[in-house]
Amino acid sequence: MGAERAKSRGVLAVVLSLLLLAGLAALFAFALSRQVQQAPEVQQAPVPERRVLKFGKTPTISLRKAYEVYSIFLDLVSEDLPCCKLELVLAPSYEACVNMLASGEIDLAWLGTATYVEHRGRVPMTPLVRPVWEGNTSYRGVIFTTEDTGISTVEDLRGKRLAVVDRESASGYIYPALVLRAHGLKVPQDFAAIDYLGSHDAVVVAVLLGEYDAGAVYERAFASVADRGKRVKLRVLASTDPIPGEPIVAGARVEAALVEQLRAAFLAVRRDRVEHPLLEDFFAFEVASDRDYDNVLSLEEK
């Protein structure tokens, strides 16, 4: 009898121990769940978005090609700008581009040489770089015609139809007009027509199609006519004096610290880094300063 009672107490003790352990386990699980619920969530720090800077350019080639070429070019420059990304904005004219810079609609611009000189006293802007093509920091304009016009000298252009680019284009109007004046021709009085076609490519095509007797463009546009069979029809009548390379400038909204980063990013563009076929004309850039353009001529100075 005593043995059975002792055995019962032992079983009861085991059961109570098991119940106690189960209760402690449940209590521990509850406390752990509360701790997990109350633990603050660890949030990932947001990745800062790159600042977008709008880059203005007046297309000197067709709109479609200009968009392709300069978008790829700006992507290349943006690779060296961890803080920023450059976004292309095509301006309808040289004057419109500088006005967009003045209003803050764009932050940077690749301006025409004459446009920069004309407006640098009115619009706050800082020259960053200028292009170097085949070792040259300057370029020339050419006055050209086709071989079947019978025009062989600049003087023969009197009374003819002339296609030019823009009133503020150094190589596509201003410097060629100075050449015409040097040959005794009054501009525009001595011409049947002088029309502004907006881009260098448009001028070359219009002359090739016979819509104009002659045209004025920058020398690379003349040399890069796609159809070599048509290029042999073209004849250069005169070349202009050297023109300082077109400046890429920063507008007033670009802070000084960022100016140096932007300049460095453009300077990092080298021919050996350019792999896309559309960028074959981009070689390098050098630092530009305001004094580089002090000797740029204007029609009013002649």
pLDDT tens readout for residues 195-240: 999 999 899 999 999 999 999 999 988 887 645 556 668 899 999 9
* Mean per-residue pLDDT, 146-157: 96
Say what the pLDDT of residue 186 is.
97
Predicted confidence band at 278 (pLDDT cuts at 50, 70, 90)? Answer: low
Q: Which tens digits make up the pLDDT trace of 19-66?
A: 444 554 554 455 545 554 544 554 554 545 779 999 999 988 788 888
**Alpha-helix runs per DSSP H in 79-156:** 94-103, 113-119
What's the CA gap between 182 and 296, in Å, rounded? 17
pTM, entire model? 0.78
Q: What are phi and psi of 226, to 5 degrees?
A: -65, -40
Tokens of 71: 């978008």
Residue 70 Cα to chain centre, angstroms: 5
Domains of the chain: 51-137+245-295 (3.40.190.10), 138-243 (3.40.190.10)
Beta bridge partners of 154: none
Predicted confidence band at 133 (pLDDT cuts at 50, 70, 90)? Answer: confident
